[in-house]
């Protein structure tokens, strides 16, 4: 385990479904992130939470809804997704001012059918 | 925003060969990391190296912050080194914005 755990590892959902991705960090970090990795594209930052407050929303469609109930947990709620939303969704955490960089989870591979 | 360019985009090696991957960035940074993405998608942190030189086994990295580039060296490559190597930077004063390059796809053949 890397210290950042994501579940599920794989998810197939229909366009009318509602599902949630979960991320948990065991590193005592104070910031958590959602990134999206699509085929042939660089990783894209979606959301940032610092001290449980959202500090960045990178023009993400409203069908993606993040939630950060505490500094260790981060969720990404999904509803009415499109096939082009199929991608690898990666969670990360960091400690601002910590000087150790970001730690990533193993990702959730999402397929929208 | 800050630009991150990695080269080469693809690299094919025979097992045992050495290689150098390069990352150029367009602005001063307070964070630079090298990651290896394995076939299952996980990003493994190789180095946190905003400046200077570090070594970890067969891997080493050097960042020359004043000239805005970083190099990742892989010596005596093994098939398990295959995968995509990403450079990612965070610009000074822009907390929480780690920008990734497009990566170098490394294939090590036995």
Cross-chain residue pair A90–B41, CB shorter than 8 Å? yes
Q: Would you say A112 and A83 are in contact if contact means Cβ atoms under 8 Å apart? A: yes
In this predicted structure, the answer to whether residue B88 has a pLDDT above a threshold of 80 is yes
Greater confidence (A19 vs B96) lies with: A19
Q: What pLDDT is recorded for position B10?
A: 97
Gap between the Cα atoms of B70 and B59, Å rounded? 13
In this predicted structure, the answer to whether residue A2 has a pLDDT above a threshold of 70 is no
Bridge partners for B72 per DSSP: B21, B61
Query: What is the chain B residue with the closest CA to A37?
Result: B41
In this predicted structure, the answer to whether residue B58 has a pLDDT above a threshold of 90 is yes
- Kindly state the average pLDDT of the residues A13-33: 94
Q: Would you say A25 and A4 are in contact if contact means Cβ atoms under 8 Å apart? A: yes
DSSP secondary structure code for residue B39 in this structure: T
pLDDT digits (tens, 9 = 90+) for B4-33: 999 999 999 999 999 999 999 999 998 999
Query: What is the chain A residue with the closest CA to B103?
Result: A42
Cross-chain residue pair B33–A102, CB shorter than 8 Å? yes
Report chain B's mean pLDDT, rounded to a whole number: 94
> Of A70, A78, A94, nearest to A36 (Cα)?
A78
Gap between the Cα atoms of B46 and A97, Å rounded? 19
Bridge partners for A44 per DSSP: A36
In this predicted structure, the answer to whether residue A58 has a pLDDT above a threshold of 80 is no
Count contacts between A and B (CB, < 8 Å): 54
Cross-chain residue pair A104–B95, CB shorter than 8 Å? no
Question: Hey, how many other C-beta atoms are within 10 angstroms of the C-beta on B57?
Answer: 7
> Which of the four pLDDT bands, split at 50, 70 and 90, describes residue A97?
low
pLDDT above 70: percentage of residues in chain B: 97
Q: Is A102 on the interface with B (CB under 8 A)?
A: yes
Q: What pLDDT is recorded for position A53?
A: 81
Q: Is B59 on the interface with A (CB under 8 A)?
A: no
Q: Is B56 on the interface with A (CB under 8 A)?
A: no
- Kindly state the average pLDDT of the residues A102-110: 94
Q: What pLDDT is recorded for position A107?
A: 95
User: How close B95 comes to chain A (CA, Å)?
Assistant: 8
Gap between the Cα atoms of A112 and A80, Å rounded? 10
């Amino acid at each position: 385990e890397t210290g950042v755990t994501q579940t599920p590892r794989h998810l197939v959902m229909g366009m009318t479904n509602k599902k949630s991705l979960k991320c948990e960090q065991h590193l005592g970090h104070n910031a958590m992130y959602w990134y999206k990795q699509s085929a042939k594209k660089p990783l894209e930052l979606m959301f940032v939470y610092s001290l449980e407050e959202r500090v960045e929303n990178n023009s993400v469609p409203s069908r993606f809804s993040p939630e950060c109930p505490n500094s260790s947990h981060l969720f990404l709620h999904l509803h009415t997704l499109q096939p082009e939303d199929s991608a690898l969704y990666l969670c990360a955490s960091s400690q601002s001012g910590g000087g150790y960089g970001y730690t990533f989870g193993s990702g959730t591979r999402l397929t929208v059918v | 925003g800050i630009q991150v360019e990695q080269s080469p985009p693809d690299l094919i090696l025979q097992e045992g060969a050495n290689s150098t991957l390069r990352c150029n960035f367009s602005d001063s940074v307070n964070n630079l990391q090298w990651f290896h993405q394995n076939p299952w998608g996980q990003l493994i942190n190789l180095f946190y190296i905003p400046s200077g030189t570090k070594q970890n086994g067969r891997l080493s990295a050097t960042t020359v912050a004043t000239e805005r580039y970083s190099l990742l060296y892989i010596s005596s490559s093994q098939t398990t080194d295959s995968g995509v190597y990403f450079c990612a930077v965070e610009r000074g004063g822009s907390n929480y914005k780690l920008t990734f390059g497009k990566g170098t796809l490394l294939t090590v053949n036995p």
